[in-house]
Structure 1
Amino acid sequence: MRCQFSLLKNQPFRRTRSACYLAARIRRTIQCRGGYWELQSKDISEHEPLVTSKESTHDPACLFRAFGLTLAPKTHASIRLIRIGQFDIAVYSFRPHLNPIKGQILLLHGYILHSLCQAPLISHLAANGWEVISIDWPGHGLSSGKRANISDFSIYADILSSVIDTIAPDSGTAPLHLIAHSTGCSAWIERMRSGLPDPFNKVILISPLIRNAAWYASLTGLWLAKRIRWILVPRIFRRSSHDPLYLNTMKTDPLAPWVLPIQWSQSLLEWQRKLHRTHPFERTVTVFQGTHDTVVDWKHGLRTIRRIFPRSSIIQCKGQRHDLLNESLPARTMVFEAIDRMLAPPIDPNSDSLNA
């Protein structure tokens, strides 16, 4: 316990506490505007470092600029807070100035990240005529909740269902697709396990989390942490991309947690056990997976995906790491172009090969 107290006094804890305060300040700013903040594309068009004074961080546009989000003129960008259970969930919308739009894409981020970490993909999709909707999971980004924690993975699925119910009326007849990364994939899989109807035309999973890398070592560490009654551990920064600019942005992310709760790892373990009892689904999914991923146990993950989704299509990206959506520019461009091809409507409207 003495070591734990020492941990709570050091820089990782102070940075995590600062992230909590920053998120809370921005939430209060949005709530003062009725829970909705609209931004102009001209206000977030240039990349600049985030200034973390109280005055500047009251404006969410500062965060958009810090993460390099670039939007075409007249793109409608907004953040709204939706109360789901005990959480205030931040929901982002990026709608291009087109009539009609191609459709909607729900983008789900991974663990200890947030929506703006996916800025390159958001910029790319919006520029190509898609409305992008993204959320921050509880305890991540601008959403409320204990930082980087969840008591049960079913909560992720419940929040996903509530968000779907919120955006479904807006989609009309336009297609609704899903792109999920890491823990975002876990949330969608858990929702599928619940038996709820799946509203997505196409589902793309990026580096899905089934279990983390060095799984058995992690189990040993979890057991030891529980024995000595640790509730928090320092975050270990991993080189999850070959892009040095992205890695530097992650190191300086003012919303990132730097101490992680043991509870989240326990919840992952319990969810992993549930997957063993999951029956296969006929749902077609496409999976992108880097072969140098050191964050998730990707070989085990692909075996599990093939078992649960026998009709899945697996695309292995040789030499690439976990954050495929933020990889080096050549690799990222290849992934984005592949996503574009998958989202494109079929040439022949009578073709049965829509999900081929």
Structure 2
Amino acid sequence: MSWTRNGVISELPVMDWSSQQPMAGSQWQQYCATYGLEFAEAGAAVHSAGMMAIDTHQIAVQVFRHPSATGTALLVHGYYDHLGIYGSLIRFCLAQGLNVVAFDLPGHGLSSGERASIGSFQEYDSVFSQVLQKVQEFLPAPVYAFGQSTGGAILMNYLLKRQLTPALSPFREICLMAPLVRPKGWRSGRMVHTIASLFVRRIKRKFNPNSADSEFLRFIAQTDPLQPHYLSVRWVGALKKWIPYIEALPASELVVNIVQGDADQTVDWRYNLGVLQAKFPNLRLKMIAGGQHHLVNESPALQAEIYATMKEWLN
């Protein structure tokens, strides 16, 4: 692998939402090959990308256009992640006849910002809302939203913060996969953060197993050049402020679809589902027996179960 993060970024133009020209450049081609971001067999006619200036960030956005799209899927990845490792979800959405828009969150992947860090979860909200505005302006409706882990938290924040009703929601369907409210071990973790924040800015990351796909686990721990290797103390501080904020917001009538594994050791899923049930009493829930946290990169058998359920919801 001879590409570098800076090399790929140097080839990305300013994001042109009206362009349907495929990306070129040797660094870009190698990046796409590394993550398998070539979906001709799934119906992607054009794969375009660019950098979008949002607030103080430069956000890397990618668009996969279906030749006969009946809507658009907007994907939001999780903490430590980037859109390059969301190939299974991109392929699924294309197979449903949807265009796909995905972007790297600030501090992740090809986007700017201190790695795996954020000052406030409302920065994520601002980035998401501005990407959504462009999707609504340039790509066909209806819009379907998908969020994994922190991506699910960002979608939840967007919906509850604006007190959106079914009539006002910009989304046909909303699918949250292992959504974050609080992580596992949060009570002790926040105490450790209080002490650690006095002395350090980051803590070395532990690549704990979060999927039954051993090759995926090996790749992110040993090979993926876009994986952060440190937990940001600043990010944990932002989470500490966000949890009471989201828990205090009024409930919503929106129907939200949730997929959750019962072997998830990353988020406190039992607690989180209680919060989600209170916030979205009309939610639809699919529990995945044996499913761990990174549902987008679970074993093929569990992925098949997850995507079969989401296909039913979308249809």
TM-score between the two structures when normalised by the length of structure 2: 0.91
Question: Is the contact between residue 50 and residue 62 of structure 2 (CA under 8 Å) also seen in structure 1?
Answer: yes
Root-mean-square deviation (CA), in Å? 2.2
* 1:335 corresponds to 2:303: no
* 1:75 corresponds to 2:45: yes
Aligned to 1:190: 157
Distance 1:317 1:290 in 2: 5
Question: Is the contact between residue 240 and residue 323 of structure 1 (CA under 8 Å) also seen in structure 2?
Answer: yes
Equivalent residue letter for 2:82: H
User: SS at the partner of 1:107?
Assistant: strand
Distance 1:210 1:102 in 2: 32
1:139-288 equivalences under 5 Å are 139-172=107-140, 174-195=141-162, 197-227=168-198, 229-251=199-221, 252-288=223-259
Equivalent residue letter for 1:265: V
Identity %: 28
Distance 2:188 2:161 in 1: 30
Distance 1:181 1:153 in 2: 15
Distance 1:270 1:312 in 2: 25
Q: 1:319 aligns with which of 287, 290, 294?
A: 290
Distance 2:133 2:100 in 1: 16
Aligned to 1:12: none
Q: What is the CA distance between 1:78 and its match in structure 2?
A: 1.1
Distance 1:111 1:262 in 2: 13
Distance 2:285 2:217 in 1: 26
User: SS at the partner of 1:137?
Assistant: coil
Question: Is the contact between residue 21 and residue 46 of structure 2 (CA under 8 Å) also seen in structure 1?
Answer: yes
How has the CA–CA distance of structure 1 residues 333 and 33 changed in structure 2, closer, same or farther, with 3 Å as cutoff? closer
Distance 1:141 1:342 in 2: 30
User: SS at the partner of 1:210?
Assistant: coil
Q: What is the CA distance between 1:255 and its match in structure 2?
A: 0.7
Aligned to 1:27: 9
Q: What is the CA distance between 1:199 and its match in structure 2?
A: 0.6
Distance 1:245 1:107 in 2: 23
Q: Which runs of 5+ in 1 are unaligned?
A: 1-20, 44-55, 345-356
Distance 1:309 1:24 in 2: 41
- Cα displacement string for residues 227-250 of structure 1 (whole angstroms, at most 9, x for unaligned residues): 4x1111001101110011211221
User: SS at the partner of 1:334?
Assistant: helix
Larger Rg over CA atoms:
1
Distance 2:123 2:4 in 1: 24
- Paired residues in the alignment total 305
1:3-82 equivalences under 5 Å are 22-31=4-13, 38-39=21-22, 59-72=27-40, 75-82=45-52
User: SS at the partner of 1:59?
Assistant: helix
Distance 1:108 1:311 in 2: 22
- Cα displacement string for residues 211-268 of structure 1 (whole angstroms, at most 9, x for unaligned residues): 11111121122022024x1111001101110011211221211011102210000100
Q: What is the CA distance between 1:37 and its match in structure 2?
A: 9.6
User: Structure 1 residue runs of 4+, over 4 Å off?
Assistant: 32-38
Q: What is the CA distance between 1:34 and its match in structure 2?
A: 8.0
Of 183-192 and 302-311, more deviation after overlay is shown by: 183-192
TM-score between the two structures when normalised by the length of structure 1: 0.81
Q: Which runs of 5+ in 2 are unaligned?
A: none
